Amino acid sequence: MNLQPLTIRERLQDYEFTDEQEMNLTLELLNRVENDIDEQRAKKTRDGLSEYVALASFAGVLYLLLGELNKLADISSLAIAVILFSGLLLLKIPWALYQLVAIDQATKRRHEQGRFFWSNDLLFENRLGGLFQLLVFLACGIFVFFLSLPLWISISTGMAFLLYALILGLVFVLSFKREPISPNNTNKWTMVGLPVLFLAATIMSVTGLFSQMNTPIGKETSSYVIAGLLLALIFFVDRLIRLATPSLLLEKLERLRYDIIFLKADLRDAWIRYEIIVDGHDISEELKTEIEDIIRAFNTLDYGQTQQEKSLTAIQDELTRLEVEQQRRRLTENDLVTVNSHKVEFFAHFSAVTRLYTFLRPQIDKLAKGVNKISRTTQQWERADEYHKFILSRLKALDQMDRQIAKKAAEADAKINSLLQKPTEQQQGNNKKDEPVGEEYGQGK
């Protein structure tokens, strides 16, 4: 018996996907998800280091470092610090040069318009490693001022460390930011200025630190060995942290793949989930919560106004009957029991509608500001304005209906007063002691 593994297409057919177009779209989505999963997994070993290799290298460097520390009493800590600081800064010069050549190249990639493509999930796995580097550079930037170095070397070295710490801090903070980011709105002065300042301070610092080193190296190798081992130790700790940090993007892609194949996730929802995970939020997803709350409030307003109209219709029908009854006798409060019950119902819905209007006004103002910010960032003015125009058109229709209801309510109130205050000539003499009643409906919101 030949037990060959099922292909994705055969597996999907077993799950009763029969529509050919849906099948093709599902396969296309699965192919994209699989490629992204492979890409994320390959990143872990792309630099030639797996987690186990990095751990073994860390252990080897630590063993060698402990073996060299018995010579520490004969070596100046200043010499070790100077070599270590120089090495750390030299490792970051290629980053600054690349940033100046590429000038924010990451945000210049072609993205679908209206997409929020700053990926918090993509940056998550770099946060802990970046935080470790941030702490190392901050500690070095502070410690350099406690060494017996010329003032200009201490200042330039401290400035270089603190500038790089500032850059890492900005990236760390922005990785949590959910604001939409556009390829055209990044601050070029920041993208160019910070690397230029870092590069200038680093060159000045390294020049000064080199002048403080013991030369030639062959006369005193222990300080170079210890500083080099410390530098390697920092490198492998950083690499271990990055390799051990789980990838949120990978986990979400794997969960999406499972939902598509085994849980038969709705195809449209699956595509939306994929686009949000990989490319970020679209305008519609970013405004979804606010718009849903407002639309839900609009639907409730529609219901409240419909109930008000029903109450007014019932009141008008009852008043028509009372007009006929007035021809025979004087009307009293007892004749208005049915009218008053409908009025109580009317005012109950009136209060609910008023509360909703009070809730809606700040929500619509907030939406207007959000739409303006998003359209300004994504340059999708027309599409973003459609959301706001839709909300305003619904609000205008509700306002018009509210004015009509207020007008009908005022007419009904006047009719009630007219019925009670203007009896027929035959009944005027007999009913002078009767007190007229009536209650104003109010004039809208």
Percent pLDDT > 90 in the chain is: 12
Q: Mark whether 177 and 321 lie in a shared domain.
A: no
Please report whether residue 213 resides in a domain: yes
Span 134-188, pLDDT tens digits: 999 999 999 999 988 999 999 999 999 999 898 888 877 777 766 545 545 455 6
How much is the pLDDT for 445? 42
Picking from 2-11, 50-59, 116-125, 235-244, which range would have the lowest pLDDT averaged per residue?
A: 2-11
Please report whether residue 356 resides in a domain: yes
Q: Mark whether 228 and 308 lie in a shared domain.
A: no
Q: Mark whether 130 and 210 lie in a shared domain.
A: yes
Burial tier of 94 (Cβ tally within 10 Å: 0-12, 13-18, 19+): exposed
SS (H, E, C) 165-216: HHHHHHHHHHCCCCCCCCCCCCCHHHHHHHHHHHHHHHHHHHHHHHHCCCCC
- CA–CA separation, 17 and 24 (whole Å): 10
Whether omega for the bond prior to residue 423 falls within 30 degrees of 0, making it cis, is no
Higher pLDDT, 420 or 230: 230
Please report whether residue 9 resides in a domain: no
What range does the domain containing 138 cover?
44-246
Picking from 79-83, 269-273, 396-400, which range would have the lowest pLDDT averaged per residue?
A: 269-273
- CA–CA separation, 45 and 412 (whole Å): 80
Tokens of 330: 């004087």
Please report whether residue 318 resides in a domain: yes
Q: Mark whether 54 and 192 lie in a shared domain.
A: yes
Please report whether residue 173 resides in a domain: yes
Compute the mean pLDDT over every residue in the chain, rounded to the nearest whole number.
76
Cα–Cα separations (whole angstroms), residue 337 to 270, 333, 422: 58, 7, 19
Show which of 246, 276, 306 is a domain's final residue. 246
Q: Mark whether 216 and 81 lie in a shared domain.
A: yes
Q: Mark whether 51 and 116 lie in a shared domain.
A: yes
Please report whether residue 39 resides in a domain: no
Domain count, the chain: 2
Q: Mark whether 232 and 330 lie in a shared domain.
A: no
User: Is the model's pLDDT at 287 over the cut of 70?
Assistant: no
How much is the pLDDT for 86? 92
What global pTM score does this model have? 0.57
Cα–Cα separations (whole angstroms), residue 436 to 61, 320, 332, 375, 423: 101, 18, 8, 59, 11
Residue type for position 433:
K
Q: Mark whether 224 and 288 lie in a shared domain.
A: no
Q: Mark whether 240 and 295 lie in a shared domain.
A: no
Please report whether residue 254 resides in a domain: no
How many other C-beta atoms are found inside a 10 Å radius of the C-beta of residue 292? 10
Q: Mark whether 224 and 357 lie in a shared domain.
A: no
How much is the pLDDT for 96? 78
Q: Mark whether 357 and 416 lie in a shared domain.
A: yes
- CA–CA separation, 308 and 302 (whole Å): 10
Please report whether residue 26 resides in a domain: no
The long-range contacts involving 306-311, CB below 8 angstroms and separated by at least 24 positions, are 307/345, 307/349, 308/346, 308/349, 308/350, 308/353, 308/405, 308/409, 309/405, 309/408, 311/342, 311/343, 311/345, 311/346, 311/349
Higher pLDDT, 365 or 442: 365
Q: What is the mean pLDDT of residues 294-298?
A: 81
How much is the pLDDT for 218? 53
Show which of 198, 225, 246 is a domain's final residue. 246
Show which of 246, 266, 292 is a domain's final residue. 246
Q: Mark whether 183 and 72 lie in a shared domain.
A: yes
